[in-house]
Amino acid sequence: MERPRKNFKPHNFNNFSNFTRKPKKKFEQREKDPAMTVTVRGDDVMKAWRILKKKLANENVLQEIKDRRYYKKPSAKKREKFKEAVRKEHRRQIKQAQTLGTRYKNYDPFNGKTGRH
């Protein structure tokens, strides 16, 4: 058998006119620093440099800078994007063939295992 709540009083439900809601607290979101920062600890500048390079690589900042050096026509951008998608799919199929234990040359993505029957 469940026990009733301690603060449950039925007469409280008859009087909703005195009910006041607590004001909601507004959460202040800290603005993220737009600059990428790396802290140098213990005079180890080279380690901080490596960490910064890794962060830049993960954010594709360096690639973006290289791409924006020269103007690229939209059609060329589209072509490169398509070629990258083809390369990515090719790598995925090679990996899939390895997990299935077959050579990639014999791998047929529609059949699943091998191209030869």
CA angle 91, 104, 114 (to 5 degrees): 130
Cα four-point dihedral sign 75, 79, 85, 89: positive
Structural domain contains residue 34:
no
Structural domain contains residue 6:
no
Structural domain contains residue 82:
yes
Find all residues with CB under 8 Å of 55, minimum gap 6, and list them.
Answer: 36, 38
What pLDDT digit, counting tens, does each position of 33-79 carry? 677 888 898 888 999 999 999 998 988 888 888 989 999 999 999 99
Q: Provide mean pLDDT across the span 77-101.
A: 89
> Helices (DSSP H) in 1-104: which residue ranges?
45-58, 61-67, 74-100
Whether residue 117 sits in one domain with residue 78: yes
Instruction: Return the pLDDT at 84.
Output: 92
pTM for the structure as a whole: 0.46
Whether residue 79 sits in one domain with residue 114: yes
Q: Which of 70, 88, 108 is the last residue of a domain?
A: 70
Structural domain contains residue 12:
no
Q: What mean pLDDT value characterizes the chain?
A: 79
Instruction: Return the pLDDT at 18.
Output: 61
Domain that holds residue 96: 74-117
Has residue 117 got a pLDDT over 50?
no
Number of domains in the chain: 2
Whether residue 78 sits in one domain with residue 117: yes
Residue located via tokens 């690639």 = 63
Structural domain contains residue 11:
no
What one-character DSSP code corresponds to residue 50?
H
Sequential DSSP letters for 68-85: TSS---HHHHHHHHHHHH
User: 43 in the Ramachandran plot: left (φ > 0), alpha (ψ -120 to 50) or beta?
Assistant: left
